[in-house]
Structure formats: structure tokens, C-alpha cells
């Protein structure tokens, strides 16, 4: 991953230094497990634990000759330890170390990603609460539909983020497995009790059945959950992009005092951060495809998955973590234009209330078919007036319709009451109360 889209927290986790540190954690836990059986003498175990270390450059030098990373690692560690180093990697195959350490690395990275997603959720919760009673136009197919709440719009994004946090936490539990079953999963050279002790020492569960590797459906779920999380971030970013369009302009990304929008057009304020999030989400879906391809391997294993994972694991987490920070920055600094929100709500001169008017006419005695025909015909007149620059409004066209005059005269204020946004927001507080963060009053805008 290019440096621009890396984060410090994820880069530390996926750096070679930390990867080898996790490999060493596994090797030392296995040595301790063997020592319980007396296979490794106590004095040798003490020497292993006190002297075990590695040098990344030395590992690279050995790997250049051996063309095998785990052999290079084990040799480099053994050099540091001395004679007792012969016990390191006892009874193991390479994937025993790689896959068990991968469980630790992936869960560490998930912890960081989940924490940042929780911070984003809090930002969305504050924004949603602040505008929970601010009416705005809702859109379907990109076209004005009915009134909603600007806060409810972002409450939906908060809820999606919450679901993604739960998914990420779920795959974290699934990936935390230890595998020390040997070359084809039979425990031929390392009995199950060694795996059990090692798993306990590392805080992992045991993979109940494995081949030479932990099966890659687990890892595909991790990368898939990240891709799904990224899709949620993209949906949020896309909403910001639409709201910032000149014709809409209900909200906009923060724009710094010295920021420039275009090299040719000085007036431009572009939603570049949200666009970046949308673009990076495509990478995450690509990584998920690679992870799915890794599931189907030959027999007890082949190595075609390894090269893919060297790229997609670190990249997936870096990209997702970076995207989270970017979109949180947008949400925390979002410029909300309430006057434009109201202007857009009134833009179609009452058309967004057509559904409620329809129900009112039915309640006054018209059949649904006749009521729908009357409202639609007058709505089309209103559309034509809006598009041609006229001043006609839906209420006026309804009041002038001779078919509706008898109904409206019996209750003159009945139809007018249908043009009230409060009706559409009357359950907003109830919807917010479904979430403990609001019910327990932990968030206030």
C-alpha cells in the first residue's frame, strides 16, 4: 500500500518487525508447552526465553539463500539463542507458526479498526441527534419524495456503522484460532496437548480440524466484513457528495482557509474527501474477491493463497482504517446549510405532501382510484408550473379543482393541514429511543 493511504497504527501491526514478533510469540509458547512434558529441559527453556530475539536484516539475508521465510526466521532466532535454539520450531510445520500468528495479527488489526469505527459511530450519533427535528426532503430515485428529518438520515448511517462494528467483532472471534496440527493436520509430530497449551497461553481457541493450514473461509470472512464495512462508508460518502452538489447544497465537507479546489477554477469547493472514500471502497471489494479465491486450495493445501494474503491483509486494514479517519473528519466538520434544506423542501411547492393529501381525500369519501387520479392530475400541473417558472402550488391547484370543492368546503382547513412537516417527524424521537446511546442519554448534539 502506498504511504498516502497507510495509517501509523495499521502500519505498525503489519510491519515485518511486528510480524516476526508474533511468530516469536508462537514459537516461545510452543517451547513452554513442550517443557511441561519435559521434552525441553527447564534450563534450555530459560535460555530460550531469555535470549530469543531476531534481526529483520539477518532474516532477509538468510531468506535470500534459503528462499523460505520461516526457515530464515527460525535460523536467525536460533543464532541468537545458541545451542538451546535447536528446540525452537520443534515438531512444527511453517504454517503452524504463520497461521497461528496470523490469528493474532488479524485480531490486533480488527481491534484497531473496531475502535475507530466506534469513534465514527459517536460522531454520526451526535450529528443525527443535533438535527433530529430538522425537516428536509427525502429522495427516492434522486427525486423528491416525502419530508423526513435530516437527523434521521444520519441516524441510518449510524445504525449501519453499528451493524458493521458487530460484524467485525464477530469475525474477530472466528479468526482467533490456534493451529499446530502439522504438515497435513494429523498432529504426527506435535500432539494435540501442545496445541491446547499453546492456544491457552496465547488466548486463542483451537481450530477443531485443520489441514496444513487454517482453512481460508475464516480469513475470507474477515476481508469480506471489511469490504462490507467499506461499502457502508462509501454509502455515507456518496450521500455527502450528493448533498454538496451545487443544485442541492444542503451540506458540504469542511474546506480549509488555504485549501484549493481546482487549479483552473478558483471558485471550486469539491467533495474530494468523500470521493476518495468512494474510490478506496472499490479496492476493498477487490481484496474481498482475492480472499474468496483463496478458499479453494489443492488437497491439504497449496501456496497460492500466500502471495495474495501478503498484499490484501495489510492493505485491507490500512485502507479501511484510513477511510474511517477521513469520513469521520468529514462528519465532524460537516457544514450543514439549514436555510438551503428548507428551500429545497419547499422547492416543489407542496408536491412532497401528495401522499398525505391522497389519504385525506380517501378519508373524506373519495375512492382510492378517484383520489389518486385527482391528486396526480393536480400534481402534474404543479410540476409543469415549477418547471416553467410559474408560481402555482399544489394546494392552490387542489383548491381550484371543481371535483374537490364540495369535499374541501365541508372542512376548509382539512387539506391545508396536510401540508405540515410535523406530521412526518412525529415519531422521530421514538425511532431515536430504539438506540441505547440515546435512550440512556449518552449522546447530546
Cβ(217)–Cβ(284) below 8 Å = no
Instruction: Report d(CA 1, CA 181) in Å as an integer.
Output: 33
Catalytic residue chosen out of the listed positions 50, 53, 115, 262: 262
> What is residue 418's three-state secondary structure?
coil
d(CA 176, CA 103): 5
Closest to 80 (Cα-Cα) out of 19, 28, 33, 40: 28
Q: Among the options 43, 140, 141, 409, which is catalytic?
A: 141
Buried b (16+ CB within 10 A) or exposed e, 381-413: bbeebbeeeeebbbbbbbeebeebeebbeeeee
Cβ contact 137:342 at 8 Å? no
Q: What distance lies between CA 130 and its chain's CA centroid?
A: 23
Q: Are 179 and 214 in contact, with CB atoms under 8 Å apart?
A: yes
Q: What angle do CA 76, 78, 83 make, to 5 degrees?
A: 150
* DSSP-assigned letter for residue 303: S
Q: Which residues pair with 149 in a beta bridge?
A: 135
Q: Give the span between the Cα atoms of 160 and 236, in whole angstroms.
A: 10
* 141 tagged catalytic: yes
What is the distance between the alpha carbons of residues 207 and 100, in angstroms, rounded to a whole number? 10
> 59 with 76: CB under 8 angstroms?
yes
DSSP string, 24-58: HHHHHHHHHHHHHTTSS-HHHHHHHHHH----HHH
Residues marked as catalytic: 141, 262
Amino acid at each position: 500500500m502506498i504511504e498516502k493511504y497507510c495509517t501509523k497504527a495499521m502500519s505498525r501491526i503489519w510491519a515485518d518487525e511486528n510480524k516476526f514478533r508474533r511468530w516469536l510469540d508462537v514459537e516461545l509458547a510452543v517451547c513452554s508447552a513442550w517443557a511441561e512434558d519435559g521434552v525441553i529441559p527447564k534450563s534450555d527453556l530459560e535460555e530460550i526465553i531469555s535470549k530469543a530475539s531476531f534481526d529483520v536484516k539477518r532474516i532477509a539475508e538468510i531468506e535470500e539463500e534459503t528462499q523460505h521465510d520461516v526457515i530464515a526466521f527460525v535460523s536467525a532466532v536460533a543464532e541468537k539463542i545458541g545451542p538451546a535454539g535447536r528446540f525452537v520450531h520443534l515438531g512444527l510445520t511453517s504454517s503452524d507458526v504463520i497461521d497461528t500468528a496470523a490469528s493474532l495479527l488479524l485480531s490486533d488489526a480488527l481491534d484497531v479498526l473496531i475502535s475507530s469505527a466506534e469513534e465514527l459511530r459517536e460522531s454520526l450519533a451526535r450529528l443525527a441527534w443535533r438535527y433530529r427535528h430538522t425537516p428536509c426532503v427525502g429522495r427516492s430515485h434522486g427525486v423528491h419524495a416525502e419530508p423526513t428529518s435530516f437527523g434521521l438520515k444520519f441516524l441510518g448511517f449510524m445504525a449501519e456503522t453499528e451493524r458493521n462494528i458487530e460484524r467485525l467483532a464477530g469475525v474477530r472471534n472466528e479468526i482467533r484460532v490456534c493451529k499446530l496440527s502439522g504438515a497435513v493436520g494429523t498432529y504426527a509430530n506435535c500432539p494435540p496437548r501442545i496445541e491446547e497449551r499453546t492456544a491457552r497461553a496465547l488466548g486463542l481457541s483451537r481450530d477443531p480440524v485443520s489441514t496444513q493450514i487454517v482453512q481460508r473461509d475464516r480469513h475470507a470472512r474477515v476481508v469480506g466484513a471489511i469490504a462490507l464495512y467499506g461499502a457502508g462508508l462509501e454509502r455515507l460518502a456518496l450521500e455527502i457528495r450528493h448533498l454538496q452538489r451545487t443544485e442541492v447544497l444542503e451540506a458540504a465537507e469542511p474546506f480549509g482557509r488555504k485549501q484549493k479546489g481546482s487549479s483552473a477554477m478558483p471558485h471550486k469547493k469539491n467533495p474530494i474527501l468523500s470521493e476518495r472514500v468512494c474510490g478506496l471502497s472499490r479496492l476493498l471489494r477487490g481484496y474481498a474477491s482475492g480472499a474468496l479465491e483463496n478458499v479453494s486450495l489443492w488437497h491439504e493445501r497449496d501456496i497460492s493463497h500466500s502471495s495474495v494474503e501478503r498484499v490484501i491483509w495489510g492493505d485491507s486494514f490500512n485502507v479501511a482504517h484510513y477511510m474511517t479517519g477521513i469520513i469521520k473528519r468529514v462528519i465532524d466538520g460537516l457544514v450543514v446549510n439549514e436555510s438551503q434544506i428548507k428551500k429545497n423542501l419547499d422547492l416543489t411547492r407542496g408536491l412532497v405532501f401528495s401522499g398525505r393529501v391522497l389519504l385525506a381525500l380517501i378519508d373524506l369519501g373519495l375512492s382510492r382510484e378517484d383520489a389518486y387520479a385527482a391528486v396526480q392530475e393536480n400534481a402534474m400541473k404543479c410540476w409543469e408550473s415549477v418547471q416553467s417558472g410559474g408560481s402555482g402550488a399544489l394546494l392552490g391547484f387542489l383548491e381550484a379543482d371543481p371535483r374537490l370543492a364540495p369535499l374541501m368546503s365541508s372542512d376548509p382547513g382539512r387539506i391545508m393541514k396536510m401540508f405540515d412537516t410535523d406530521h412526518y417527524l412525529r415519531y422521530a424521537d421514538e425511532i431515536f429511543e430504539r438506540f441505547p446511546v440515546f435512550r440512556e442519554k449518552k449522546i447530546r448534539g
